[in-house]
Structure 1
Amino acid sequence: MASRHRITVAVAGAGGKMGSEALRALAADDRFDTVAVLVRDAGQAQASGQYTCPVYDDPERLLMEAHPDVWLDFTDARSVVHHVDRCIAFGVSPVVGATGYTPEDVARWNEACLRQGIGGIAAPNFAIGALLMMRFAAEAARFFTRAEIIEMHHDGKKDAPSGTARRTAEQMAAHREDAAGDPAAHRVSAAGITVTDAAPARGWSYQGVPIHSVRLPGLVAHQEVIFGGAGEVLTIRHDSLSRTSFMPGALLACARVREVRGMVYGLEHLLW
Structure 2
Amino acid sequence: MKKVLIAGYNGSMGRKVVNLVQGLDGFSISAVVSPTTTPDDVKELGLADDVKVYKDASEVQDGVADIWVDFTAPGAVYGNTKAAIEHGIKPIIGTTGLSDDQVKELQDLAKQKGIGGLIAPNFGMSAVLLMKFAKEAAEYFPDVEIIEMHHADKADAPSGTALATAKMIDENRPEHESSPDKVTTLDNVRGGDYHGIHIHSVRLPGYIAHEQVLFGGPGEALTIRQDSFDRGSFMSGVKVALEHADDLKTLVVGLEKIL
| TM-score (structure 1 length as normaliser) | 0.88
- Contact 1:63–1:87 (Cα < 8 Å) also in 2: no
Structure 1: 4+ residue segments shifted above 4 A:
none
Q: Following superposition of structure 1 onto structure 2, how do residues 1-272 of structure 1 map, counting pairs within 5 Å?
A: 6-42=1-37, 44-45=38-39, 49-51=43-45, 52=47, 53-64=51-62, 67-176=64-173, 180=174, 185-186=175-176, 188-189=177-178, 191-193=179-181, 200-271=188-259
The Cα shift of 1:46 comes to 5.4
Moved more, 249-258 or 233-242: 249-258
Letter of the structure 2 residue corresponding to residue 270 of structure 1 = I
Q: Deviations for 1:162-218, whole angstroms, at most 9, x for unmatched residues?
A: 000000010001011xxx3xxxx32x34x3359xxx951111111211111000011
Letter of the structure 1 residue corresponding to residue 135 of structure 2 = A
Partner Cα separation in structure 2 for residue 258 and residue 103 of structure 1: 25
The Cα shift of 1:257 comes to 2.3
Letter of the structure 1 residue corresponding to residue 39 of structure 2 = A
Q: The residue matched to 1:137 in structure 2 has which SS?
A: helix
The Cα shift of 1:118 comes to 1.5
Letter of the structure 1 residue corresponding to residue 4 of structure 2 = V
More helix by share: 1
- Contact 2:21–2:29 (Cα < 8 Å) also in 1: yes
Partner Cα separation in structure 1 for residue 42 and residue 137 of structure 2: 50
The Cα shift of 1:262 comes to 1.8
Partner Cα separation in structure 2 for residue 207 and residue 249 of structure 1: 29
CA RMSD of aligned residues (A): 1.8
The Cα shift of 1:50 comes to 2.3
Q: The residue matched to 1:210 in structure 2 has which SS?
A: strand
Partner Cα separation in structure 2 for residue 47 and residue 121 of structure 1: 27
The Cα shift of 1:47 comes to 7.5
- Contact 2:10–2:41 (Cα < 8 Å) also in 1: no
Letter of the structure 1 residue corresponding to residue 44 of structure 2 = Q
Letter of the structure 1 residue corresponding to residue 192 of structure 2 = W
Letter of the structure 2 residue corresponding to residue 13 of structure 1 = G
Partner Cα separation in structure 2 for residue 257 and residue 105 of structure 1: 21
Call closer, same or farther: CA 1:144–1:112 in 2, change over 3 Å.
same
The Cα shift of 1:48 comes to 6.0
Gaps of 5+ in 1: 1-5
Gaps of 5+ in 2: none
Partner Cα separation in structure 2 for residue 153 and residue 59 of structure 1: 27
Aligned length: 252
Partner Cα separation in structure 2 for residue 103 and residue 193 of structure 1: 28
Q: The residue matched to 1:250 in structure 2 has which SS?
A: helix
Residue of structure 2 equivalent to 1:3: none
